[in-house]
Amino acid sequence: MSVNRMFRTCPTSGLVFHEPAEKLMRWNAVAAVVSLLIGGLLAIGVVLTRWQAVHLLPPDRFYQYLTAHGLNMLVFWIIFFEIAVLYFAGSTLLKARLATPKMAWAAFWLMVLGALVNNYSVLRGDSSVMFTSYAPMGAHPTFYLGLILFAVGALIACFVFLGTLVVAKAERTYHGSIPLVTFGAVTAAIIAIFTIAAGAIILIPTFLWSVGLVPTIDSLMYRTVWWAFGHSSQQINVSAHVAVWYAVAAIVFGAKPMSEKVSRTAFLLYILFLQLASAHHLLADPGLTSHWKIFNTSYAMYLAVLASMVHGLTVPGSIEVAQRQKGFNHGLFEWLRKAPWSNPAFSSMFMSLIGFGFLGGISGVMMGTEQLNLIIHNTLYVPGHFHATVVVGTTLAFMGLTYFLIPVLFRREITFPKMAQWQPYVFGLAMMGVSLFLMGAGTLGVPRRHWDIGFAGNAFAHEFPGAAWLMMALAGITGIIAIVGGGMYLLITVWSVFLGKKIQTPGFQHVRAKDGIAPAPKPVAAAIAAHHPGIGAGGMVAPGTFALAMVFLTAFVLYYFINWKYLSTVWPLK
Amino acid sequence: MNAERIEDDLPDEPVPVMQQLLDNPFLLLFLGIAMPTVLYIVWGVMEIVSLPIAK
Amino acid sequence: MSAILPPQERVWWKQPLDRVELIWIVVALIWCLIMFFMMPYWHIYGQQNLSNEAYRSKPEDFVRKTEAMIAQYKVREDGGDLKVPVVRPPAGSDVYMVAQLWRWYPILELEAGKSYRIHLMSLDWLHGFSLQPENINIQVHPGYEHVLTVTPTNPGTYSIICNEYCGINHHTMVSRLYVVK
């Protein structure tokens, strides 16, 4: 069996694509976008039902739509896209051939099959058990089977990625260490492998239980192990979208990491501690001690939060340094004012960074505090938080990367370029609104996954304050705007990829790597020095970023202690 | 400055241990699986199974 | 050198840090440690901590204990045709509350300023104890009896809603809790 060693070089970006890897990236990206389309259509039903003035769906449909929305968005859209990112970071950035393309195709088709089988089970109507599928509430066996098939496929894809690293090293396609973005992808792949292993530990027995081969599944055991899968799966996203931030900063600005040491150590802290935060979901559960809760919920003394705060500084910091070196060196914020705000790759990435930090990060740490969790557990605060992390953070970052990948990977021009300029703002700002309003409603006690907070016809109906109803209406309105923004993204990407103008490259061909298709990247003279004489202020190369970081820290500290104050007013409990 | 840089790139300069760790994805994979498995799953499951029975 | 290319230096570990990164790492680390120590601090000095007291329990045993308490301390019925017993247990006593599809049982009447040992357990699936408008939210498991010492502060009528999805009638699982002077 001969190994395909054919590559092409992208004329605009200089990136090198291995022929089979390129095809796999495309197909994984397409499968991701299809999942996003399904999840987005379902979101319409969810949003319009929880907006109580509309209250569109009956309860069975609502819970069914919500289950499928969660699975298609949180699992299928994101993991398919992440596999494409892994292949990009492994094969393209290392200029290496993808290890075992056949296995990668097997992985892809297993994932597609798993996603179809899982969606089928929810479509049947007897598996509206939510993304979490908490035993002893049971779903149809195909629900678990679909997830297991998908997970096995994703696991194979992770090992194809790791194999590609081995190939690249053996075939000496790069010198020294792997690029930082690839290192971020390694972090994501490692967390993914733990995630999938934890998923197997719990979903395989649950599948056997659903077909009658295992007598019972313990609810606490299920929740504990399931969250090692459910929460860690979202930590894959964090690692992946941070890697995408670094990639976009490098692609758009030619930014170099402020320090390889700091950024890579921050990723190492992710590898070691990020996954412990699965305990966030078990803080209000009986049977686990405060020792376990405090240690795990704080990622061992918040070392993974430290890592996120470091990335949150170094990504914009590296952009600031690059901009200042280009001459935007006046004052604190000229570099930011003169940033390419009409480039959707940049605007998506920057809003992803701000939204993830200010909304997702701060709220995540607040609700992951052992005692503070009492005042938000299972309220709409939780979906508010993760729409800031997974949607504003991950999804928006991935959307930004797509605008870069369509010309580079699919060799098509972006159709509707004006709409593409606006899309990140419509989607990002509306989704930030959704997050804020859901968090507001959650603070007022509104439960998540609830069909009717009006409790119509109930003898003990609870009356939520008017502010809660207002929050739900505002979340509904911003939710619809966000869906429109998502629709714009789908329209632009699908149209560009299938009907967009082909980018013609004279003399286009795939050639063997050893024939020297990849010109070695030219070192940028100015970027060599670790210190950057003549830029910045106050002895800092990135004073503007530092100022932003201080604003962030102030918001963080204030919000954190406001919630302790709030907690101190509720009933004493011990 | 430049002299330092050239020295850095001398092939016989030993690579620091931390950099060697960060350059080794399979060692990182081991750490990334072992840490949460022990600290989160094993510790948590042990606490659950050692719960007393209600009176 | 950029983030999508390999680092230029073979040894990058020894590169000096810029001041901006160094200061931020120190500040962020201090903040992380403050947040970490807030949790043990609150266990010692704070009033609101979730109890670590929990037992494995069988549904029939839990129902038996609940029924015994109802028989002893029932004061009236509530909810019209639903006839849900309202129980007024003495301060400091063990109080039982059952969560099941799709009700909370019984209704408690507690005295403000007094402490009670509330035992929470589900008989079937997972439920979420959500006391409103106080906004205290606790997960309720089948087979695990969770014992919390609660001290209501203000008299009034409170609602207990279920905030863990428990099937098609999840949204109907709502009850009362009375606090009297």
Q: From CA A243, how far away is CA A410, in angstroms rounded? A: 21
Q: How many CB atoms lie within 10 A of CB A457?
A: 8
pLDDT tens for residues C47-103? 999 999 999 999 999 999 999 999 999 999 998 888 999 999 999 999 999 999 999
Question: Could you give the ipTM of this predicted complex?
Answer: 0.95
Nearest chain A Cα distance for residue B55, angstroms: 16
pLDDT at A533: 62
Tell me, yes or no, whether A566 lies in a domain: no
Question: Distance (Å, rounded) from C-alpha A118 to C-alpha A121?
Answer: 5
From chain B, pick out residues whose CB is under 8 angstroms from the CB of A177: 19, 22-23
Paired tokens of A386: 């993760």
Confidence of residue A529 (pLDDT cuts 50, 70, 90): very low
Chain B residues with CB-CB distance to C10 below 8 A: 8-9, 11, 13, 15
A139-143, A537-541, C14-18: which range is least confident on average?
A: A537-541
- Residue closest to A35 by CA, chosen among A127, A111, A104: A111
Give yes or no for C11 touching B (CB within 8 A): yes
Contact A422, A488 (CB under 8 A): yes
The residues near B35 (Cβ < 8 Å, ≥ 6 apart) are A271, A272, A273, A275, A276
Q: Are A291 and A297 in contact (CB under 8 A)?
A: no
Dump pLDDT digits (tens) for A14-27: 888 999 999 999 99
Residue with tokens 């052992």: A370
pLDDT of amino acid A14: 84
Assess whether pLDDT exceeds 60 at residue B2.
no
The residue whose two tokens read 């400055």 is B1
User: What are the tokens at A548?
Assistant: 């932003």
- Other CB atoms within a 10 A radius of the CB of residue A526 amount to 12
Radius of gyration of chain B (CA): 22
CB contact under 8 Å between C10 and B11, yes or no, is yes
Residue A331: exposure state from Cβ atoms within 10 A (0-12, 13-18, ≥19)? exposed
Please give the structure tokens belonging to residue A558: 């204030």
Q: How far is CA A15 from the centre of its chain?
A: 24
Task: Give CA A300 to chain center in angstroms.
Answer: 23
What is the identity of the amino acid at A214?
Answer: V
Q: Where does the pLDDT of residue A522 fall: very low under 50, low under 70, confident under 90, or very high at 90 and above?
A: very low
Question: What is the pLDDT, as a whole number, of residue A470?
Answer: 97
User: What are the structure tokens assigned to C87, written together?
Assistant: 């129980």
What are the pLDDT digits (tens) for C97-154? 999 999 999 999 999 999 999 999 999 999 999 999 999 999 999 999 999 999 999 9
For residue A353, the 8-state DSSP code is: H
Can you name the residues that pair with A512 across neighbouring β-strands? Answer: A6
Question: How far is the C-alpha of A279 from the C-alpha of A228, rounded, in Å?
Answer: 8
pLDDT at position A520 over 50: no
Asked whether residue A57 is assigned to any structural domain, the reply reads: yes
Q: Which amino acid is at A154?
A: A
The CATH number given to C53-180 is 2.60.40.420
Q: Cβ(A239)–Cβ(A187) under 8 Å?
A: yes
Among A161, A178, A195, the domain-final residue is A178
Of C11, C56, C57, the CB nearest to B16: C11
Q: For residue A337, what is the enclosing H or E element? A: helix A334-337
Domain-wise residue ranges, chain C = 7-45, 53-180
Q: What is the CATH number of the domain that holds A171?
A: 1.20.120
Give the Cα separation of B27 and B18 in Å (integer). Answer: 12
**Closest by Cβ to C11, choosing from B13, B52, B53:** B13
Question: What is the total residue count of chain C?
Answer: 181
pLDDT at A523: 41
What pLDDT is stored for residue A216 in this prediction? 94
* Chain B contacts in chain A segment 154-173 (CB below 8 A): 162, 165
pLDDT at A518 over 80: no
Residues of B in contact with C57 (CB under 8 A): 53-54
Closest CA to A266 of A183, A158, A179: A183
Chain B residues whose C-beta sits inside 8 Å of any chain A C-beta: 1, 5, 18-19, 21-23, 25-26, 28-29, 31-33, 35-37, 39-41, 43-45, 47-48, 51
* C-alpha triplet A387, A389, A391: angle, nearest 5°: 50
**To which residue do tokens 């939780």 refer?**
A382
* Listed residue (B33, C138, C101, C141) closest to A221, CA to CA: C141
Which residue, chain included where needed, has tokens 């300029």? A421
- Locate B8 and state its tokens: 């850095």
- Residue A478 reports pLDDT greater than 80: yes
Provide the pLDDT for residue B6. 45
- Give residue A485's domain range: 376-453+461-503
A393 is written with which tokens? 């953070």
Q: CA-nearest residue of chain B to A292?
A: B44
Q: Could you tell me which chains touch chain C, where touching means 3 or more CB pairs under 8 A?
A: A, B
Q: Return the minimum-mean-pLDDT range out of A123-132, A506-515, A546-555.
A: A506-515
Interaxial angle between packed helices A417-443 and A396-409, expressed in degrees from 0 to 180 and rounded to the nearest 10: 160
Q: pLDDT > 90: what percent of chain A?
A: 88
Domain boundary among A122, A147, A178: A178
Residue C106: cis peptide before it, omega within 30 degrees of 0 = yes
Residue A173 pLDDT > 50: yes
Q: What is the mean pLDDT of chain A?
A: 93
Cβ–Cβ below 8 Å for B15 and C55: no
For A240-258, b/e burial (b = at least 16 CB within 10 A) is bbbbbbbbbbbbbbbbbbb
- Measured in whole angstroms, the distance separating CA A160 from the mean position of its chain's CA atoms is 21
Q: Is the pLDDT of residue A98 over 70?
A: yes
Answer yes or no: is A53 within a domain.
yes
In terms of CA atoms, which chain A residue is nearest residue C162? A447
CA distance A235 to A364: 12
Angle between helix axes B25-36 and A141-170 (nearest 10 degrees) is: 150
pLDDT of residue C1: 47
Predicted model pTM: 0.94
Q: How many of the other CB atoms lie within 10 Å of CB of A515?
A: 9
> Shortest CA distance to A179 belongs to which of A238, A275, A249?
A249
With an 8 Å Cβ cutoff, are B32 and A191 in contact? yes
- Position A553 in a domain: no
A31, A39, A26: which is closest to A486 by C-alpha?
A39
Average pLDDT of A153-177? 95
DSSP code string of A282-300? GTT-TTS-HHHHHHHHTHH
Rounding to the nearest 10 degrees, give the CA dihedral for residues A485, A486, A488, A493: 150
Instruction: Report the DSSP beta bridge partners of residue C109.
Output: C178
Region A174-196 average pLDDT: 95
C-alpha–C-alpha distance, residues A359 and A392, integer Å: 9
Write down the residue that tokens 């080794």 correspond to.
B24
Cα–Cα dist A17/A469, whole Å: 52
Q: How many structural domains compose chain A? A: 2
Mean per-residue pLDDT, A120-136: 95
The pair of three-digit structure tokens given for residue A274, joined into one six-digit string: 């990020």
Of A65, A70, A80, A76, nearest in space to A26 by CA: A80
Q: Strands C74-78 and C54-56: what pairing?
A: unpaired
Quote the pLDDT of residue A538: 78
**SS3 label, residue A205:** helix
Total count of residues recorded for chain B:
55
| Residues β-bridged to residue C176 | C159
For residue B9 the two structure tokens come to 């790139």
Phi-psi category of A95—alpha, beta or left, where left has phi over 0 and alpha has psi -120 to 50? left
Q: What is the pLDDT of residues A219-241, one digit of tens each?
A: 999 999 999 999 999 999 999 99
Q: What is the mean pLDDT of residues A380-408?
A: 96
Contacts of C142 in chain B (CB under 8 A): none
Which pLDDT tens digit goes with each residue over B6-39? 444 556 788 999 999 999 999 999 999 999 999 9
Whether residue A141 is predicted with pLDDT greater than 90 in this model: the reply is yes
Look up residue C128 and give its two tokens: 């979420």
Q: With a cut of 60, say whether residue A193 has pLDDT above it.
A: yes
Phi-psi category of residue A125: left, alpha or beta, with phi > 0 → left and psi -120 to 50 → alpha: left
- Which residue, A140, A159, A178, sits at the end of a domain? A178
pLDDT category, A4, cuts 50, 70, 90?
confident
Residue C41, number of CB atoms within 10 A of its CB: 13
